[in-house]
Every structure is written in C-alpha cells, then in structure tokens.
C-alpha cells in the first residue's frame, strides 16, 4: 500500500495488485466480495458511517521498452 499526500493535505491510499488476466481479476474480486468474514468486518467497521468515500479503479498495461535511438527513429518517421 502507498499513501499519497496531496498539496491540499488530503491523503489517499493506493493498493496495487497484479493479475494474469482480466478474467482472473474478476474471479478473484467476486470471490473476495462474497467472503463472509470480510463482509462481517466491513459491516462492523461501517456502523457509524462509511469509512471509504469512493473507490477508483485504474488498469495498467505493460509497455514495450525500446532504446532511445529506436524511439527517435519511430518519432522521426
């Protein structure tokens, strides 16, 4: 987990996870969302109101790296 601090003094927690495929991600999150122990803990932690305002999801794809000379050739053409 990373904690991001912004100039306006707000903080956000960032969790990064890796999956072999989008299908694997969907399967794992569906399993997690149905976990009885997790749901009990979540319900108890929110007795006085939600502790998470919102969840944003971002998906990163691998980038093919190339040498700077090849990149220059690609940009020039």
Q: What is the pLDDT of residue 64?
A: 79
pLDDT in tens, 14-52: 788 888 999 999 999 999 999 999 999 999 999 999 988
* Residue whose structure tokens are 């100039």: 7
Residue 54: band (very low, low, confident or very high) from pLDDT cuts 50, 70, 90 = confident
- Its pTM stands at 0.57
Phi, psi of 8 (to 5 degrees): -85, 15
pLDDT, residue 47, reads 94
How large is the average pLDDT for residues 38-67?
86
What pLDDT is attached to residue 59? Answer: 86
Tell me the β-bridge partners of 12.
Answer: 4
3-state secondary structure 8-71: CCCEEEECCCCCCCHHHHHHHHHHHHCCHHHHHHHHHHCCCCCCCCCCCCCCCCCCCCCCHHHH
């Amino acid at each position: 987990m990373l904690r991001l601090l912004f100039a306006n003094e707000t903080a956000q927690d960032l969790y990064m996870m890796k999956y072999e495929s989008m299908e694997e991600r969907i399967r794992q999150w569906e399993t997690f969302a149905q976990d009885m122990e997790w749901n009990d803990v979540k319900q108890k932690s929110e007795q006085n109101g939600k502790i998470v305002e919102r969840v944003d999801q971002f998906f990163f794809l691998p980038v093919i790296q190339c040498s700077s000379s090849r990149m220059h050739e690609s940009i020039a053409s």
